[in-house]
Amino acid sequence: MGIILNVPSELKYSFFFTHDVFEIEELDVDFNLSNPFVYEVGFYNGLNMPRPWENPEEAIPYLQEEWKKLKIQLGTIFTTRDIASALVPMKQAIGLFIEMLFWSNAQPVCFPLNNIQQLQIKPVNIQERIEFIISRPMLYHSFVQLTELFIEQEKHFTKMLLLKNK
């Protein structure tokens, strides 16, 4: 049995959280991406947990690796037209992208997403594109769009790191 926490107001978004509580299996300092926003839930609840957004150059590669695995899984789902199986991995992939978006900007995830226009490092037309994906997560086109968002965000993040290290 893990630790039961309230979903903080900063993360209350029905697409990801259908309940008002969130269970964390263990307060492990190892990097864990099995539950999107686990670090934000802990942070907003005042727990002493890792804050990956404070060291995005260390955290983002973990998100990229997890995305590679999900991308293969989703590619198979959409190729075989097993659309009924798409929702859970798409939600996880969308969550990973949102984490990457905020962590690239050295911030914890915070909803509603209409705040993403203020982020410095982001893909073009992010607001419309992410809203489209979230409103239709089981469409192949949403998967394609999400893939493009990951590519664009990775480029922006890499560019930021290169400029920072000059």
Is 36 within the bounds of a domain? Answer: yes
- Separation between Cα atoms, residue 73 and residue 149, nearest integer Å: 18
Same domain assignment for residues 63 and 38: no
Quote the domain boundaries for residue 107.
55-164
pLDDT at 29 over 60: no
For helices 56-79 and 140-164, the axis angle rounded to 10 degrees is 160
Quote the longest CA-to-CA distance of the chain: 47
Is 76 within the bounds of a domain? Answer: yes
3-class DSSP state of 25: coil
Which tokens is 80 given?
Answer: 């075989």
pLDDT of 31 reads 66
The 10s digit of each residue's pLDDT in 111-166 is 888 788 889 999 999 999 999 999 999 999 999 999 999 999 999 999 988 887 77
Closest to 101 measured CA to CA, from 29, 160, 20, 44: 160
Same domain assignment for residues 80 and 158: yes
pLDDT at 8 over 70: yes
Is 49 within the bounds of a domain? Answer: no
pTM of the model: 0.91
Same domain assignment for residues 36 and 67: no
Same domain assignment for residues 29 and 62: no
Total domain count, the chain: 2
CA distances in angstroms from 164 to 29, 104, 155, listed in the order given: 27, 13, 14
Label residue 40 exposed, middle or buried (CB < 10 Å: 0-12, 13-18, 19+). Answer: buried
3-class DSSP state of 108: coil
Same domain assignment for residues 68 and 36: no
Same domain assignment for residues 36 and 65: no
Is 50 within the bounds of a domain? Answer: no
pLDDT at 30 over 70: no
Same domain assignment for residues 97 and 19: no
Same domain assignment for residues 139 and 103: yes
Same domain assignment for residues 16 and 91: no
Q: Following DSSP, what letter does each residue of 39-55 receive, concatenated?
A: HHHHHHTT-----GGGS
The 10s digit of each residue's pLDDT in 92-108 is 999 999 999 999 999 99
Closest to 36 measured CA to CA, from 114, 89, 85, 78: 89
